[in-house]
């Protein structure tokens, strides 16, 4: 016998929205339109810039190798900033992440304070940190390293803590059961279990730091960014393209090396 | 001549979990050098009772004395020392999967030595490494010292967990369904290893099991739990099969 309680027609494709969702939708669309107008987004302007773009592209070819030596030195300094900043940032992130892991932290106040510190480091963009540190320690790569360190504390602190939260709790219970102290449980069971997540976050943060260390130079925090800015300001597009290609090689090399290390380590 | 005090003396233990009374006024006394099986259907409170004994779960009421010391009054270093003297073998073995077998066994010394010395076999002093190899040899796995723990079979993994417990130099060994995740042959091996520790080394063992045959073969005494209460407490030889069957009815 057929079940008469079952519906026989398909449900409507789109339900009529309620008044509040409808109003929110209209407001969102209106804000999008006003944003496009306020920021002067214009396909016409873009099309009018076409000849200028072609002229710049023409001046980029062939790339100038006149300053290849200083560019390579600056590129090395950029990578060194990324490596130093990431290493110090990761080292500082590890204990902070322990305190920001609910079941490992000795006190709720310390847990929340650690979470807030990580959130502040993560929320403020690295360029802003760089401006701040240039003001504090002056122009140069040290300001860039400090900016990367703070940025890494925000990035790695969060992902290290997540890796520790997700680490298998059963070995931790086993070590507690045999009389291990909290540091022993962390070193003996938490860190080994979280290692894939820690390595992943550290390598990804090195890739991110390499890209951001290029930009930090634009505000005077050392590295190749300042070289790029000077070339652009002097309309030396043939030099600029050399620098851009050098940056591309560095970023791709770091990404490839990072992917290889990740495959080896995990 | 006076008899040695019981290694486990728990009285009136009560524990509610998730709004349900899981352990209800349970008492357990275990004499030194004996092997006790805790049996009962799922949810009877066997695993909870073992965890209560070492305070991995805090009891709501009741008293616990382990090795003659008040477990509930102990805290900090005293609590860790009582836990160090009580080996705990888990149903899922609870090894650190990414660490080597030897490191897992060296972890057994974490309760009695500095954490920096026993977190990894690479940092451990020679004496600890030698002792860990001895413990592995006692469970027949010395040849597997360098293998990663997550590359072991279930039976091997459980024997490494036993070696880690032996590394604690315990007087008492608690085992939560040690054969549950193993095939029958590996389960028998593990149970024989426990019995050997009682007969050869004078350890006291309390294990939980769903295998009545294991309880009958390897335990001196059977304690049956049902709905969180003790329903049977008798010497194995005196334990009536019908009474045991009724526990699962």
Domain boundary among B108, B138, B169: B169
How near does any CA of chain B get to the CA of A101, in Å? Answer: 19
Mean pLDDT of the region B20-46: 92
Residue spans of the domains in chain A: they are 68-265
What pLDDT, on a 0 to 100 scale, did the predictor assign at position A163? 95
Domain boundary among B112, B147, B169: B169
Please check whether residues B70 and B185 belong to one and the same domain: yes
Query: What CA–CA distance (Å, rounded) separates A229 from A217?
Result: 8
Please check whether residues B112 and B65 belong to one and the same domain: no
Of B53, B47, B58, nearest in space to B69 by CA: B53
Asked if A222 and A142 touch (Cβ cutoff 8 Å), the reply is yes
Tell me the percentage of chain B whose pLDDT exceeds 70.
Answer: 99
Taking only the tens place, the pLDDT of each residue in B37-54 is 999 999 899 999 999 999
Does residue B119 belong to any structural domain of this protein?
A: yes
Residue B1 has pLDDT above 50, yes or no: no
What pLDDT, on a 0 to 100 scale, did the predictor assign at position B2? 53
- Report chain B's mean pLDDT, rounded to a whole number: 91
Chain A residue set in contact with B, beta carbons under 8 Å = 168, 170-171, 173-181, 183-184, 187-189, 192-193, 195
The β-bridge relationship of strands B35-39 and B204-209 is parallel
Taking only the tens place, the pLDDT of each residue in A36-67 is 999 988 888 889 999 999 999 998 888 888 88
Residue B246 has pLDDT above 90, yes or no: no
Considering only CB atoms, A189 lies closest to which of B87, B96, B168, namely B96
Does residue B90 belong to any structural domain of this protein?
A: no
Query: What CA–CA distance (Å, rounded) separates A175 from A182?
Result: 9
Backbone angles phi and psi of B33, in degrees to 5: 80, 10
Contact B110 A195 (CB under 8 A): no
Contact B98 A193 (CB under 8 A): yes
Please check whether residues B21 and B76 belong to one and the same domain: yes
Residue B111 sits in which domain range?
Answer: 98-169
CATH 1.10.3720.10, domain A68-265, yes or no? yes
Band (pLDDT 50/70/90 cuts) for residue A1 is low
Please check whether residues B107 and B161 belong to one and the same domain: yes
Band (pLDDT 50/70/90 cuts) for residue B148 is very high
Contact A176 B98 (CB under 8 A): no
Tell me the percentage of chain A whose pLDDT exceeds 90.
Answer: 67
Chain A CB within 8 Å of residue B94 CB: yes
Please check whether residues B142 and B187 belong to one and the same domain: no
- Tally of domains within chain B: 2
What pLDDT, on a 0 to 100 scale, did the predictor assign at position A60? 87
Identify the three-state secondary structure at position A239.
helix
Does residue B156 belong to any structural domain of this protein?
A: yes
Please check whether residues B81 and B177 belong to one and the same domain: yes
Backbone angles phi and psi of B8, in degrees to 5: -120, 125
What pLDDT, on a 0 to 100 scale, did the predictor assign at position B223? 94
Query: What CA–CA distance (Å, rounded) separates B242 from B26?
Result: 22
Please check whether residues B81 and B174 belong to one and the same domain: yes
Q: What is the DSSP string of A77-113?
A: HHHHHHHHHHHHHHHHHHHHHHHTSTTT-S-HHHHHH
More confident residue, A225 or A27: A27
How near does any CA of chain A get to the CA of B45, in Å? Answer: 19
Taking only the tens place, the pLDDT of each residue in B173-221 is 999 988 887 788 888 888 998 899 899 888 999 999 988 889 999 999 9
Neighbours of B219 (CB within 10 A): 26
Of B227, B224, B193, nearest in space to B209 by CA: B224
Mean pLDDT of the region B115-124: 86
ipTM: 0.88
The rounded Cα B86 to chain-centroid distance in angstroms is 8
Please check whether residues B161 and B174 belong to one and the same domain: no
Does residue B92 belong to any structural domain of this protein?
A: no
Query: What CA–CA distance (Å, rounded) separates A218 from A33?
Result: 32
Please check whether residues B133 and B58 belong to one and the same domain: no
Using CA of residue B55, residue B57, residue B61, residue B62, what is the dihedral sign? Answer: negative
Domain boundary among B116, B140, B169: B169
Residue B242 has pLDDT above 50, yes or no: yes
Taking only the tens place, the pLDDT of each residue in A93-103 is 999 999 999 99
Contact A173 B56 (CB under 8 A): yes
Residue B13 has pLDDT above 60, yes or no: yes
Please check whether residues B174 and B81 belong to one and the same domain: yes
Q: Which two tokens stand for residue B101?
A: 């077998």
Question: Torsion angle of alpha carbons B71, B72, B73, B77, nearest 10°?
Answer: 60
Please check whether residues B78 and B121 belong to one and the same domain: no
CATH number at residue B77: 3.40.50.300
Taking only the tens place, the pLDDT of each residue in B55-68 is 999 999 999 999 99
Taking only the tens place, the pLDDT of each residue in B86-106 is 999 998 899 999 999 999 999
Taking only the tens place, the pLDDT of each residue in A215-224 is 888 887 778 8
What pLDDT, on a 0 to 100 scale, did the predictor assign at position A34? 95
Band (pLDDT 50/70/90 cuts) for residue B127 is very high
Does residue B1 belong to any structural domain of this protein?
A: yes
What pLDDT, on a 0 to 100 scale, did the predictor assign at position A124? 93
Does residue B93 belong to any structural domain of this protein?
A: no
């Amino acid at each position: 016998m057929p079940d008469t309680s079952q519906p026989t027609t398909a449900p409507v494709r789109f339900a009529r929205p309620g008044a509040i969702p409808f109003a929110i939708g209209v407001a969102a669309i209106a804000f999008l339109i006003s944003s496009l107008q306020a920021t002067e987004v214009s396909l016409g302007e873009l099309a009018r810039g076409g000849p200028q773009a072609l002229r710049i592209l023409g001046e980029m070819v062939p790339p100038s190798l006149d300053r290849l030596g200083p560019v390579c030195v600056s590129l090395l300094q950029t990578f060194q900033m990324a490596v130093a900043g990431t290493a110090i940032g990761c080292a500082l992130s590890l204990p902070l992440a322990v305190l920001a892991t609910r079941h490992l932290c000795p006190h709720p106040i310390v847990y929340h304070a650690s979470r807030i510190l990580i959130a502040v480091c993560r929320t403020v963009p690295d360029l802003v940190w760089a401006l701040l540190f240039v003001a504090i320690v002056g122009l140069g790569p040290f300001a860039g390293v400090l900016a990367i360190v703070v940025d890494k504390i925000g990035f790695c602190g969060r992902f290290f803590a997540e890796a520790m939260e997700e680490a298998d709790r059963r070995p931790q219970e086993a070590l507690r059961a045999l009389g291990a102290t909290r540091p022993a449980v962390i070193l003996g069971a938490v860190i080994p279990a979280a290692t894939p997540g820690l390595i992943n976050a550290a390598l990804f943060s090195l890739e991110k730091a390499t890209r951001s260390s290029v930009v930090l130079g634009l505000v005077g925090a050392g590295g190749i960014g300042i070289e790029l800015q000077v070339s652009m300001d002097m309309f030396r597009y043939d030099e600029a393209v050399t620098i851009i290609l050098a940056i591309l090689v560095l970023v791709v090399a770091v990404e490839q090396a990072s992917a290889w290390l990740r495959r080896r380590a995990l | 001549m006076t008899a040695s005090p019981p290694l486990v003396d728990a009285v009136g233990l009560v524990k509610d979990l998730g709004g349900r009374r899981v352990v209800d006024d349970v008492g357990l006394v275990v004499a030194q050098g004996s092997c006790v099986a805790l049996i009962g259907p799922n949810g009877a409170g066997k695993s909870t009772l073992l965890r209560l004994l070492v305070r991995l779960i805090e009891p709501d009421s009741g008293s616990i004395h382990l090795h003659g010391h008040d477990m509930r009054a102990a805290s900090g270093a005293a609590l860790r020392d009582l836990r160090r003297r009580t080996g705990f073998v888990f149903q899922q073995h609870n090894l650190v999967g990414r660490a080597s077998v030897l490191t897992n066994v060296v972890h057994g010394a974490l309760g009695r030595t500095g954490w920096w010395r026993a977190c990894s076999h690479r940092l451990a002093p020679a004496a600890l490494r030698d002792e860990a190899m001895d413990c592995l040899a006692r469970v027949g796995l010395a040849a597997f010292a360098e293998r990663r723990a997550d590359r072991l079979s279930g039976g091997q993994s459980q024997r490494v967990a036993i070696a880690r417990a032996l590394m604690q130099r315990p007087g008492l060994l608690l085992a939560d369904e040690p054969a549950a995740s193993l095939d029958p042959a590996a389960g028998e091996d593990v149970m024989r290893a426990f019995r050997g520790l009682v007969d050869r080394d004078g350890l006291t063992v309390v294990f939980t099991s769903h295998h009545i045959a294991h309880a009958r073969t390897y335990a001196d005494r059977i304690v049956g739990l049902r709905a969180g209460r003790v329903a049977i407490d008798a010497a194995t030889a005196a334990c009536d099969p019908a009474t045991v069957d009724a526990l699962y009815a």
